[in-house]
Structure 1
């Protein structure tokens, strides 16, 4: 049990749960009296013999600080001592969806649909930001006091940066056996978005049926059932539910239903409520806008970056952000024009991203563009590696003027 009073700010309470590398406690913020959940990780459990931390922890925080959605557990801040790291998170009172299903035996179709709609909204939000959960299951979905879901535990999540360039797929085998998609069991690689959709299908089936579609005490026999994709629906399932489940649990990822198709499904849309961000109603066709909102701006706070808690150097020192009145397309176009003029090596990444190498690869920097409003974007530039002074020179004297639409000043000899 850690100290009762944490950083003079949080009073720790009862233990809520234990994992392989962490314990989660209920706590109270002293000033406000607000309940929070605190995930406590021993650094000794996540560092190798040389004291280098597991990158999964950094990735989990990096992912969670980006995700500000009504149906995803919020990460408030990260604190640390010499021996421990503390994730201060939203406290979700109702417990796990798994326990709620077990207590009720099964959900009604209407309640299952409501939870499924919220789950798809959260998953779609993640996918639009290049995040794939990879361990969606009722144990990782919490229920708040209003009966709404909160997706949690992004410890196994992947991002677009981890996708292999040679085939555009993920290759790490992970997840909980009863929920994994059949393509994860092969050596060919898989699409993170499509495997999350499969897991959503398993969750929907469990909510309505009260048991797993594919299960066997023998793990290999269960994998065979998953790979074949043969399951039976109980008699109380409506034809519309059976139809959407057949699309969700399609063993062929190429023909498996997409989120866009799910959102257009008549059964799914029944009683659908659109969530709101910053007073703007959510896009009715995609359930979530691919634009920035107030929550996204808050998530840019460097207070949620824990790299400095895990190692001595802080990459945030080489990070620049600015708001620019320009379209992403035109901004990328200007950067590409600069790259050609200066002989910089450019490599496009994801939707609005570029990796740029300058002066024979002495500096590598990453540029990302995020749409803020219809007319504004956020430009984020960060040095990945190389000469820090050269990075600052290129940023201030060449890249920044181009981003702001300014002419690069000519540098004249002092003798002229």
Structure 2
């Protein structure tokens, strides 16, 4: 069984489109090369710094959760290249519909990491204005964002604009009805949307092989959507593949599906213990494929990974982490009554009744005020 699994992994790796080997060697690829032809060492270094910063922020998110400052954190360790490479392929007027794990995408779109933590701290339903960064709030309902993206893309099409919608999903979400409905609508109307599947091999505790006996990318052509499988740990390949798909959508070529094959090195969330279901040998296989290590090796070969650059990256990562920690801890908890204030655009009598009942319930647990009566605002949650 072990030999069969090893061979299957080798076959999968051999089938993936890539531009940088695990040892940092630049590889030729006739289809992808034109899409990153302008990238020099400085541009590749910027991609590396992006990945290093979000890795540091990811570690800070886990630490904040362990220290009780936020309620949950979904680590992205191992998926940095998939997120940065795809997000950096977009224009400012393109619109992103992401999953709960896509903090790196949010970073690339200009979302402050602490704004992500407003949700994980339970202080708000959305930490930012979607129209300021052209990125919807992170979606926790599995696969729902693909329908939102397709609908938005149809709106772009109706407006006669040339923007593109890009939506992220995991390998597990590919089995959701919402995702399949989105693919059908996108194909039927040739909507300008790109489906970007981060196949990290695990749908919580279920391996991808349980639901996909063929590559996930093979499903899209059945809907009439062109697809590609890329090495999701190769930031240059991801960038090139996404640029190709985005340009197809932008110029009237309809939707595309990208399967970025990567690996979730950490737990599903901080509430998960992958040691209960995952073979530690898998981590030993994937560790040498680290997305940062291969770009570091590439940059060293180009003479661009200097001590000065290394220090610059470390300083940028530490500065970002210190900022997100300070800002997260400073997030105030809203008063209980605020839970009811942003549900409907106009006042609603039924909601007002629920609000009053909830505040009366909370008042049972509060200390009386100086007047001898409980507080009327329900206090902070």
Q: Do both share a fold (TM > 0.5)?
A: no
Higher relative helix content: 2
What band does the TM-score fall into relative to the shorter chain?
Answer: under 0.3
Bigger relative contact order, structure 1 or 2, given CA contacts below 8 A and separation 6+? Answer: 2
Taking structure 1 as the reference length, what is the TM-score of the superposition?
0.25
Taking structure 2 as the reference length, what is the TM-score of the superposition?
0.26
Larger Rg: 1
